[in-house]
Structures are given as C-alpha cells and as structure tokens.
Amino acid sequence: MATLIEVRNLVRRYTVGAVVVSALDNVSLEIERGDFVVVMGPSGSGKSTFMNILGCLDKPTSGLYMLDGVDVSALDRDGLAEIRNRKIGFVFQQFNLLARTSAVENVELPLLYSTQPLAEHRARALRALTSVGLAKWADHQPAQLSGGQQQRVAIARALINEPQLILADEPTGALDSRTGIEIMSIFQRLNREAGMTVVLVTHDPDIAAFGNRNVHFKDGRVVDDFRIARPRRAEEELERLPAAEEKELALT
C-alpha cells in the first residue's frame, strides 16, 4: 500500500514559564493508506500531541509531516484549515453535538461554508447518516438519542467531506462496552469496505485489539510499534451476543 502519512524526527516542545516541556522527541513513522492504527500510551506520553499534529490542530517545533504528499509542517494557518476540511474527519470522546440541532443538521455543519446548494448538503448528510445506520433518527435532537447514537452522528459528521483520514480520540471512552463494540464495528467497516485510513487513540487494550497496528508512546517517543496478525472482529463479537442484547444494540 502507498504511504498516506510520513513523519520524520518530529519534535514538539512547549515553554511553561521557565520550563521547556518536550511533548514529542524525534518521532518517526509511516502510516499506509487503508491502515487501522491504534495509538496508546499513559497520560503525558505524547499521543495526544501527536494526534493534534496529525489533525493539523498543532504544528511541530521541528521535523517533517507529510500527508498525502503535502508537507503539512510548512503550511500556514489557512493551509492547515484547508487540509483539515478536505482530508481529515475527527471523532472525539465527547460527541460535541449542538444540543438544539437535529442529527442531520449536526452532520451538515462542516458544509457550512460550502458553495454547494443546500439541497446537496442535506442529501450528503443523509447519506452519511445512512452509512452509520441512523437514517431513521435524522430529525432527532441529541437529547433524544442514546450515547451510542450520538457517537454515530459524530462519525457521520466526520464522514461528510469524504476524508482520506479519520482521527478518533477515545471514541468509545464515554460508552458502555457493548456499545463500544458497535462503534468499533463501524470503524472497521469504513476501513475494510471504504478503504479509509483510521488512526484511533485509546487507553483500553481491548479496544486496541480491533486495529491492525498498535503504536505505543512513552515520554514523547514511540517505544513499540507492531502489527496484529488477527485483529478482533467487532461484527463477529456482536453476532455472538444474546438475541436480546443484540436487539438493544441495534437501537443504540
């Protein structure tokens, strides 16, 4: 597979008063198109800083970051915003949905400044909701949805611009374990069927086992990087659940 992400000697330092904090220390790795990478590490290990740089939300102090052949580390603020909008979809632990806005309107938000007709915005949003199994709940507000449903709305919103890369930060952290498996099933399907590259942060080793590759950070460095020969298959695990629980999951 071709390389989508390449980072070389990535360094990120912050100055806190008179103290210089090294959040990333010469990190180098490549991520191929269509890969499913899970990033792990304790608090303060650098994984969140790494994800922020991948998502063009932060810039490295030094080093190279190439995304789809573009030297992202050299872009200005406007260039970073354009990359975020065209190539990257974000999913967070907190769903970040507008409370008084319907599911379909929440999904449409990234298209706010698009020049496409409003009817096309709605059609794209409905297609995205359909892809995560929420077409029937398009007109529901977040308070009318379960946690699992809200996270699926957030995933649909991340998909609206058909990104090449999904960055997911603890996407199952606020969910019960069974609903978390269903969310991982969506990520695996997007990765397997749509060829979407997924980079996901988690503290949970059970969730990490759904990925094809695990990268571990500690003290700002990559200390382990390995492929999983047989990742957990979320769909298979859902099929083994008792019928009553499976029915409940289908509605959450």
Tens of pLDDT, residue by residue over 153-205, are: 999 999 999 999 999 999 999 899 889 999 999 999 999 999 999 999 999 99
% pLDDT > 70, the chain = 95
pLDDT of residue 248: 39
pLDDT in tens, 110-156: 988 777 777 889 999 999 999 999 999 999 999 999 999 999 999 99
**Full set of structural domains in the chain with CATH:** 34-58+77-250 (3.40.50.300)
pLDDT in tens, 14-52: 988 888 889 999 999 999 999 999 999 998 999 999 999
Residue 183, CA distances (Å) to 24, 38, 138, 173 in order: 29, 14, 18, 11
pLDDT of residue 111: 87
pLDDT of residue 215: 97
The DSSP string of the chain is --EEEEEEEEEEEEEETTEEEEEEEEEEEEEETT-EEEEE--TTSSHHHHHHHHTTSS--SEEEEEETTEEGGG--HHHHHHHHHHHEEEEESS----TTS-HHHHHHGGGTT--S-HHHHHHHHHHHHHHTT-GGGTT--GGGS-HHHHHHHHHHHHHTT--SEEEEESTTTTS-HHHHHHHHHHHHHHHHHS--EEEEE-S-HHHHTTSSEEEEEETTEEEEEEE-SS---HHHHHHTS-HHHHHHHHT-
Gyration radius of the chain's alpha carbons: 18
Tokens (6 digits) for 28: 């180098």
% pLDDT > 90, the chain = 75
Contact 184, 172 (CB under 8 A): yes
pLDDT of residue 244: 39
pLDDT of residue 18: 86
pLDDT of residue 229: 93
Grade residue 242 by pLDDT with cuts at 50, 70 and 90: low
Asked whether the CA dihedral 47, 48, 52, 53 is positive or negative, the reply is negative
CA-CA distance, 170 to 151, in Å (whole number)? 11
- Degrees, nearest 5: CA angle 209-214-67: 125
pLDDT of residue 38: 98
CA-CA distance, 233 to 222, in Å (whole number)? 26
pLDDT of residue 252: 42
The residue assigned the tokens 């007109």 is 139
Looking at 21-30, 75-84, 187-196, 235-244, which range is the least confident one? 235-244
